């Protein structure tokens, strides 16, 4: 899997939009970009996944530039409950030969009133 780099932490206030950027310079042609959210003492939860351009679902948007060497998770109007660690993963499980899902250190988002 391609190595990823994210900020260690970010702070925000309720109602603001939060953008977390992930760098993945050596992303491969077949790789997808996936984001997870983790609350303390729980397993990570899938948020969103994309391959190129923009993907939007009910909780977030994912922006991927044409060169795909980075991606940005956008959380609109965050609330206190969005305080969590956010992980960016790059890779694919579709190739054979033992594909790993390797998580980086993630970004700790803290939302305050």
List of residues contacting other proteins (CB under 8 A): 1, 30, 32, 34, 36, 41-46, 49, 85, 87, 89-96, 98-106
Looking at beta carbons only, is 59 or 101 nearer to other proteins? 101
Tell me the closest approach of the beta carbon of residue 6 to other proteins, in angstroms.
10
Instruction: For CA atoms 15, 49, 2, 53, give the dihedral sign.
Output: negative
Looking at beta carbons only, is 32 or 63 nearer to other proteins? 32
Tell me the closest approach of the beta carbon of residue 15 to other proteins, in angstroms.
28
What does the buried/exposed string (b/e) look like for 15-39 if buried means 16 or more CB atoms within 10 Å of the residue's CB? eeebebbbbbeebeeebbbbbbbbe
Looking at beta carbons only, is 8 or 113 nearer to other proteins? 8
Tell me the closest approach of the beta carbon of residue 106 to other proteins, in angstroms.
5
How many angstroms separate the CA atoms of 13 and 44, rounded? Answer: 23
CB contact at 8 A, 86 and 107: yes
How many angstroms separate the CA atoms of 107 and 6, rounded? Answer: 6
Tell me the closest approach of the beta carbon of residue 104 to other proteins, in angstroms.
6
């Amino acid at each position: 899997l391609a190595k990823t780099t994210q900020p260690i932490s970010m702070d925000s206030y309720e109602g603001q939009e939060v953008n977390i950027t992930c760098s993945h310079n050596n992303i491969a042609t077949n790789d997808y970009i996936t984001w997870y959210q983790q609350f303390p003492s729980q397993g990570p939860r899938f948020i969103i996944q994309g391959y190129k351009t923009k993907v939007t679902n009910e909780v977030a948007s994912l922006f991927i530039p044409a060169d795909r060497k980075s991606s940005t998770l956008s959380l609109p109007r965050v609330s206190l409950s969005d305080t969590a660690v956010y992980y960016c993963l790059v890779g694919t499980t579709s190739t054979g030969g033992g594909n790993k899902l390797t998580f980086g250190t993630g970004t700790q988002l803290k939302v305050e009133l």
